[in-house]
Amino acid sequence: MKLWDKGFSTDKKIDHFTVGNDRELDLLLAKYDVIASTAHAKMLGKIGLLIKEETESLVKELATIGESIEKGEFVIDDSFEDMHSKIEYMLTEKLGDTGKKIHTARSRNDQVLVAMHLYLKNELAEIKSETKILFDLLLNLADKYKSVLIPGYTHLQIAMPSSFGLWFSAYAESLIDDLYFIDAAYKIADQNPLGSAAGYGSSFPVDRTFTTQEMGFANLKYNVVAAQMGRGKVEKATAFGISSVAATLSKMGMDICLYMSQNFNFISFPDELTTGSSIMPHKKNPDVFELVRGKCNRLQGVPNQLALILTNLPSGYHRDLQLVKEVIVPAIQDLRACIEILTFSLKEVRVNENILEDPKYDYLFSVDTLNELVLSGIPFRDAYKQMGTEIHEGRFTPKRDIKHTHEGSLGNLCLNEIRKKMNDIN
């Protein structure tokens, strides 16, 4: 069954090529089509295109379909093109001609659009919530280990003293920036496109303000052509948010892989969170964090994937837009899985509290020792040369009782201020 069926069939090869993996992806989106269809049915009743009994029976049956989706009982058979055709078939099978009326004043185009907007709203809210949980964990770890020093690096060379407090809270504050992108994508998704039909509106007197309120959208995408042009754009905005979070997680995954190696030995995890080797019995591999790094690196390419699909498309609907779904939906699932596994794993992180006792880290303190000379009255350039000579001649004695007091330094992490920044995000 196809919503555009005119009574003749298309070649099976054409069917297979054009449907793609829509059926599988639509299982994640079906509940949102039910939400939109329920609002649409109520609106049709409000404007007099359905009588009260028809509206009530449609709403009741859609609720039953929604329950079957929640229970995992809803399937899209190969004989159906997508969720829309299956849901309309179920309504018609149960309600007869009343079920056939559900498609009045709408197109599959705005069905896909509104379902995707609702889906993205929900997923973006979940990503935000899950990111905040990871943020809270990182800040708690920063506070717990704020006094434990670690080497800071530039060019992967020993540079200056850092701390686990700085390291954990750096990633926490970076996630705030990422959520600004997520919020921007949410605002774009939080506009109701339903009623744009095929992209040029309808001669039926649909009440788009009613459906906007009924589905909980903050605003309406007023211009029907703009609404249609939003297909692909809302996914691309979401992709930018996803890629921003992914960049932060990927970098942290890389840090963890380095810090777990025997050459660093900064952190470790329980055996059950690592993997082994088929031939080397001593191995405790950071596979989880390598996969986070790899998956999140791949996610950073999603905006470009979408750009390549959408570039040079004119206004109006084009079948190319179907391909957007199969890029963005798996990307969302991958990102959420990475956030979840990092949160799960970092709860068990073990910190080495004696890292800087190794003499190879003495040079970390050269800057602080140099600054002491400056504070004693020696001009900076002269003190710098003096320190360089001492290091070159092997006479350098580090000053380890360092004092960093400015905002954001290892002696003044500003964790409360960072937390407030996160709390200020709606």
- As a whole number of angstroms, the distance between CA 340 and CA 333 comes to 11
Torsion sign across C-alpha atoms 235, 236, 237, 238: positive
Element (H, E) at 214: helix 208-215
**Coil vs helix vs strand at 163:** strand
What token pair was written down for 238? 């979401």
Distance, CA of 270 to CA of 262 (rounded, Å) = 15
Q: Assign 334 to helix, strand or coil.
A: helix
* Whether 399 contacts 363, CB under 8 Å: no
Q: Could you tell me which of 223, 151, 232, 238 has the C-alpha nearest to residue 192?
A: 223
- Phi/psi at 220 (nearest 5 deg)? -115, 140
Marked catalytic residue, from 129, 147, 277, 315: 277
Question: Rounded to whole angstroms, how far apart are CA atoms 424 and 417?
Answer: 11
Q: Is 155 a catalytic residue?
A: yes
Contact (Cβ atoms closer than 8 angstroms) between residue 165 and residue 143: yes
Q: Which amino acid is at 424?
A: D
CB-neighbour burial class of residue 92 (10 A; exposed 0-12, middle 13-18, buried 19+): middle
Active-site residue, selected from the candidate residues 155, 282, 392, 406: 155
> In this structure, are residues 145 and 351 in contact, taking their beta carbons and an 8 Å threshold?
yes
First to last CA, the chain: 43
Euclidean distance between CA atoms 87 and 3, whole angstroms? 11
Active site residue 162: no
Cα–Cα distance, 365 to 371 (Å, whole number): 10
Residues forming the active site: 155, 277
